[in-house]
C-alpha cells in the first residue's frame, strides 16, 4: 500500500482514532480539520475529498493556509462498531483525487481499522489475563496464612510488589468507635512518625476516612493535568500517585488499604479496578478470619464457610485456561502478516467462540456451587416420570456424542418422584460426561435405574481406569482432581461432582462411587 500511495505524493498519512466511550477526537491537531469536516466523516462513514481548499466550503481557507494544506482526503476507519477514526492524506498543492486514489485509500483504511480493532481486543485480553494472574497470586498467598491479621505487613508488601508500587498502609476500622487504626505499613521512610493525627501521615488518614465514609475507591496524584484528584500534601510523605480502596465484606467496612508510588506511574482506572478487587479479596479473608476466631455458635461457622467458598469461587484458576486459548487465537489473527484464508479465520473465530462458551459454563458452575454452599440452591419440584426423563437424556447424549454407546437397564416399576427435572438431568448429564471421558475406547457406558422399595437407585458405570479407594470421597470436594488428570492434562474444572452432590443432597438423596468387579467405576 505504501508504494501505491506514492502517486498522489502526500506528505504524510497520519491516523486518528476516537477515545474509548467518547465522541471526541483525541488530538487538538485533529480538530484543526474543523468540526464540520469531522462530523461528515463520523456520521456518514464516507470519505471527504477536497481537491482545492481555496474552492471548498468544507475546510476553512484560513486553517488550510495555517497548516499548509491545499488538497486533502479524509478516509474513515470503519468497523462493525461504527466509525472509530480516520486517516488524513494532506497535500501542499492542489490535486485532483482520481477514483483509483480513493479506492486504494479506502482499502488501506479498511485494513487499518481491522488491525486497530484486533489490537484493542488483544489489549483487553491481556488486561483480563493479568487480572486473573494477580487475583490467583493473592488467593494463593491468603490461602496459606492461618490468620491474615497476624501477617498483614507480609500481605501488604506482596500487594505492593504485585501492583509494582513502592509503599502502602493498612488501616482497620473499630466497629464500636468508628475510628481507623494503623495496623501495617511498608515502604515508609523510617524517620516518619506513625501518628495518624500528625503530619506527615495525616493526609493519608484523611483520604482513608473519606474512602471509609463513601465506600468508594479513590485515585489521587501530585501532578497537574493528570485528570485525577490532586493532593499536594502527599509530597510531604514522598507519594506521587496513591490508590485507596475499602476493605469490604458484604456491606461491612473493615478498614482501608492504601498503596502508592514515589514517582509518577500513570495509574489508570483499570489499575484502580484491579486494586479494588484485591481490597475485596483481603476484606473477605479478614472477615473470614474474624468469624473463625469468634465461631462459638453454629451460625458464625456457617457464615465463615460461606465466605470461604465465595472467596475460592471468585478466584478459581480454571478461568484462566479458556482465556489462554482465546488469547492464542487472537495472537494468530494478529501475527499473520499475509492475508489469511477464510477457513483459517473461521477456525480461529470458532475457537474463540467455543472457549467463550466454556468460560460461561465455568462461571455457571461456580454460581451453582456458591448457591449450594450458601444453602440457597432453588429447586423447581414437580412430579416426574423418571424412565421418560432418563430415556430422553440418554438419547440426547448419544446424539451429541457420536460413537458413544449407552446400555440401558431401567426398571419398569419406577414410581413418580417429586424432583426438579432440570437439576436431575444436570446430574445425570455430568455423570455421563465423566464416564465417557474416562471409559476405555469402544467400551459401553451402562445406566441402570431400579426401585428398592424405599428409594430409587440410579447408577452410571464405565470401564475406565477406576478411582483409588482412598479418593472415593475426595472426588466430591470442589476443585478436587486426581493426580493422573493433572499429569495427563485432562480437561475439567473439578466442580462437576461437587455440584452433583449438592443437587442430590438438596433433594434429600445421597451420591457415592463404587468399584466395578471387572474394572471401572459406578
Closest CA to 115 of 22, 17, 243: 17
Higher pLDDT, 451 or 59: 451
**In which element (H, E) is residue 383 found?**
strand 382-384
Bridge pairing between strands 218-221 and 82-91? unpaired
Average of pLDDT values for 26-42? 56
Q: How confident is the model over 361-399, as pLDDT tens digits?
A: 777 777 777 777 777 788 888 898 988 998 888 888 888
361 or 253, which is more confident?
Answer: 253
Q: Strand 180-186's sheet: what is its strand order?
A: 180-186, 167-173, 252-261, 241-249, 218-221, 229-230
Question: What is the structure's pLDDT at 6?
Answer: 43
Give the whole-angstrom CA distance, residue 1 versus residue 253: 58
pLDDT of residue 2: 39
Residue of 278, 306, 279, 275 lying closest to 291 (CA atoms): 306
Q: What is the 3-state secondary structure (H, E, C) of 296-347?
A: CCHHHHHHHHHHHHHHHHHCCHHHHHHHHHHHHHHHHHHHCCCCCCHHHHHH
Confidence at residue 295, expressed as pLDDT on a 0 to 100 scale: 58
CA distances from 221 to 28, 206, 263 (A): 25, 15, 10
Q: What would the pLDDT profile of 159-195 be if each residue is shown by its tens digit?
A: 888 777 888 888 888 888 888 888 888 887 775 667 7
Query: Residue 242: is its pLDDT beyond 60?
Result: yes
More confident residue, 239 or 305: 239
294: cell is 469468634
Residue 90 and residue 13: Cα distance in Å, rounded? 7
Residue 246 pLDDT level (bands cut at 50, 70, 90): very high
Residues 6+ apart with CB under 8 A from 308: 288
In sequence order, which ranges of 145-180 are alpha helices (DSSP H)?
A: 152-162
In the chain, what percentage of residues exceed pLDDT 90? 0
Cell numbers found for residue 114 = 481491522
Buried b (16+ CB within 10 A) or exposed e, 460-483: bbbbbeebeeeeeeebbebeebbe
Domains of the chain by range and CATH? 4-120 (3.30.450.40), 145-295 (3.30.450.40), 318-374 (no CATH), 382-506 (3.30.565.10)
What is the DSSP pairing of strand 406-410 with strand 445-451? parallel
What local confidence, expressed as pLDDT, does residue 177 receive?
A: 85
Task: List strands edge to edge, sheet with 71-79.
Answer: 15-17, 82-91, 71-79, 48-50
For residues 356 and 306, the model is more confident at 356
Residue 138 DSSP SS3: helix
pLDDT at 122 over 50: yes
Q: Which three cell numbers stand for residue 90?
A: 494532506
pTM for the model stands at: 0.40
Give the model confidence (pLDDT) of 260-276 as tens digits.
Answer: 888 887 788 888 888 88
pLDDT of residue 469: 80
Single out the residue of 23, 1, 28 nearest to residue 13, CA to CA: 1
CA trace torsion 311, 313, 316, 318 (10° rounding): 180
Q: Which residues contact 351 (CB under 8 A, 6 or more apart)?
A: 325, 326, 329
The three cell numbers locating residue 126: 491481556
Residues with Cβ within 8 Å of residue 207, at least 6 apart in sequence: 218, 220, 231, 242, 244, 258
Tens digit of each residue's pLDDT (9 = 90 or more) over 83-109: 878 888 888 888 888 888 888 888 888
Q: Mean pLDDT check: name the lowest of 18-32, 267-281, 304-318, 478-492.
A: 18-32
Q: Are the beta carbons of 277 and 249 closer than 8 angstroms?
A: no
How much of the chain exceeds pLDDT 70, in percent? Answer: 73
Q: Choose between 27 and 169: higher pLDDT.
A: 169
pLDDT at 25 over 70: no
Mean of all residue pLDDT scores within the chain: 75
pLDDT confidence band for 243 (50 / 70 / 90): confident
- 498 pLDDT more than 80: yes
What DSSP line would sit under 11-43, residue for residue? S---EEEPPTT-SS-S-HHHHTT-HHHHHHHHH
CB-based burial, 258-295: b 16+ in 10 Å, e otherwise:
bbbbeeebebeeebbebbbbbbbbbbbbbbbbbbbeee
- Dist CA 164 CA 261 (whole Å): 8
Q: Which whole number is the average pLDDT over 47-69?
A: 72
Amino acid at each position: 500500500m505504501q508504494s501505491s500511495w506514492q502517486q498522489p505524493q502526500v506528505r504524510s498519512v497520519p491516523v486518528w482514532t476516537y477515545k474509548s466511550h467518547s465522541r471526541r477526537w483525541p488530538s487538538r491537531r485533529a480538530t484543526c480539520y474543523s468540526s464540520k469536516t469531522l462530523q461528515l466523516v463520523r456520521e456518514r462513514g464516507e470519505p471527504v475529498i477536497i481537491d482545492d481548499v481555496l474552492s471548498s466550503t468544507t475546510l476553512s481557507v484560513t486553517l488550510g493556509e495555517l497548516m499548509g494544506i491545499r488538497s486533502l482526503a479524509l478516509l474513515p476507519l470503519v468497523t462493525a462498531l461504527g466509525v472509530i477514526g480516520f486517516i488524513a492524506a494532506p497535500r501542499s498543492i492542489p490535486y485532483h483525487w482520481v477514483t483509483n486514489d480513493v479506492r486504494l485509500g479506502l482499502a488501506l483504511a479498511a485494513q487499518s481499522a481491522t488491525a486497530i480493532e484486533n489490537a484493542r481486543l488483544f489489549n483487553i485480553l491481556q488486561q483480563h489475563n493479568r487480572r486473573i494472574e494477580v487475583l490467583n497470586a493473592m488467593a494463593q498467598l491468603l490461602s496459606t496464612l492461618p490468620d491474615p491479621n497476624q501477617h498483614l505487613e507480609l500481605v501488604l508488601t506482596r500487594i505492593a510488589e504485585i501492583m509494582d508500587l513502592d509503599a502502602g498502609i493498612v488501616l482497620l476500622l473499630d466497629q464500636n468507635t468508628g475510628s481507623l487504626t494503623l495496623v501495617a505499613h511498608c515502604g515508609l521512610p523510617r524517620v516518619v512518625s506513625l501518628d495518624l493525627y500528625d503530619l506527615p501521615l495525616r493526609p493519608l488518614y484523611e483520604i482513608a476516612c473519606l474512602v471509609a465514609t463513601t465506600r468508594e475507591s479513590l485515585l489521587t496524584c501530585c501532578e497537574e493535568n493528570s485528570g485525577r484528584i490532586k493532593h499536594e500534601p502527599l509530597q510531604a510523605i514522598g507519594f506521587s500517585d496513591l490508590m485507596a480502596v475499602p476493605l469490604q465484606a458484604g456491606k461491612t467496612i473493615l478498614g482501608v488499604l492504601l498503596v502508592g508510588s514515589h514517582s509518577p506511574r500513570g495509574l489508570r482506572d483499570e489499575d484502580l479496578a484491579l486494586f479494588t478487587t484485591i481490597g475485596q479479596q483481603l476484606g473477605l479473608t479478614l472477615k473470614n478470619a474474624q468469624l473463625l476466631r469468634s465461631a462459638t455458635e453454629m451460625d458464625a461457622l456457617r457464615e465463615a464457610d460461606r465466605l470461604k467458598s465465595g472467596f475460592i469461587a471468585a478466584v478459581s484458576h480454571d478461568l484462566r485456561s479458556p482465556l489462554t486459548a482465546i488469547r492464542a487465537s487472537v495472537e494468530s489473527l494478529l501475527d499473520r502478516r499475509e492475508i489469511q484464508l477464510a477457513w483459517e479465520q473461521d477456525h480461529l473465530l470458532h475457537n474463540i467462540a467455543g472457549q467463550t462458551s466454556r468460560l460461561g459454563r465455568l462461571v455457571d458452575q461456580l454460581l451453582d456451587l456458591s448457591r449450594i454452599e450458601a444453602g440457597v440452591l432453588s429447586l423447581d419440584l414437580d412430579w416426574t416420570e423418571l424412565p421418560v426423563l432418563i430415556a430422553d437424556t440418554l438419547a440426547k447424549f448419544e446424539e451429541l456424542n457420536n460413537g458413544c454407546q449407552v446400555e440401558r437397564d431401567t426398571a419398569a416399576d419406577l414410581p413418580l418422584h417429586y424432583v426438579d427435572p432440570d437439576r436431575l438431568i444436570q446430574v445425570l448429564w455430568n455423570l455421563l460426561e465423566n464416564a465417557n471421558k474416562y471409559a476405555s475406547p469402544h467400551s459401553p457406558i451402562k445406566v441402570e435405574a431400579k426401585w428398592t422399595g424405599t428409594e430409587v437407585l440410579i447408577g452410571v458405570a464405565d470401564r475406565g481406569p477406576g478411582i483409588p479407594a482412598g479418593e472415593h470421597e475426595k472426588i466430591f470436594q470442589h476443585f478436587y482432581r486426581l493426580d493422573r488428570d493433572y499429569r495427563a492434562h485432562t480437561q475439567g474444572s473439578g466442580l462437576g461432582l461437587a455440584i452433583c452432590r449438592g443437587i442430590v443432597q438438596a433433594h434429600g438423596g445421597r451420591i457415592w462411587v463404587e468399584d466395578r468387579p471387572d474394572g471401572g467405576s459406578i
